[in-house]
A and B are shown apart, each in its own frame.
Chain A
Amino acid sequence: DTGVSQDPRHKITKRGQNVTFRCDPISEHNRLYWYRQTLGQGPEFLTYFQNEAQLEKSRLLSDRFSAERPKGSFSTLEIQRTEQGDSAMYLCASSLGWGNYEQYFGPGTRLTVT
Chain B
Amino acid sequence: QKEVEQDPGPLSVPEGAIVSLNCTYSNSAFQYFMWYRQYSRKGPELLMYTYSSGNKEDGRFTAQVDKSSKYISLFIRDSQPSDSATYLCAMSGGSGNTPLVFGKGTRLSVIA
Contacts and interface: CB of A to CB of B under 8 A. Distances in A.
A85 interface: no
Contact of A45 (B8, B97, B100): B100
A54 B41 CA distance: 28
Given A101-B97, A105-B36, A43 B44 contact: yes
A101 B96 contact: yes
Interface residues of A, number: 30
A105 B43 contact: yes
Contacts of B104: 40-42
Nearest to A110: B41
A37 B92 CA distance: 18
B29 to A, nearest CB: 14
Contacts of A45: 99-101
Interface in B28-83: 32, 34, 36, 41-46, 49
Contacts of A56: 98-99
A72 interface: no
Interface in A1-23: 4, 6
A81 to B, nearest CB: 25
Contacts of B105: 40-42
Contacts of A40: 8, 104-105
A106 B8 contact: no
Interface in B85-112: 88, 90, 92, 96-105
Nearest to B99: A45
Contacts of A105: 36, 43-46
Contact of B99 (A33, A107, A108): A33
Interface in A94-110: 95, 97, 99, 101-108, 110
B103 A107 contact: no
Interface of A: 4, 6, 31, 33, 35, 40-45, 48, 50, 56, 58, 89, 91, 93, 95, 97, 99, 101-108, 110
Lowest 3 A-B CB distances belong to which pairs? A42-B102, A101-B96, A45-B99
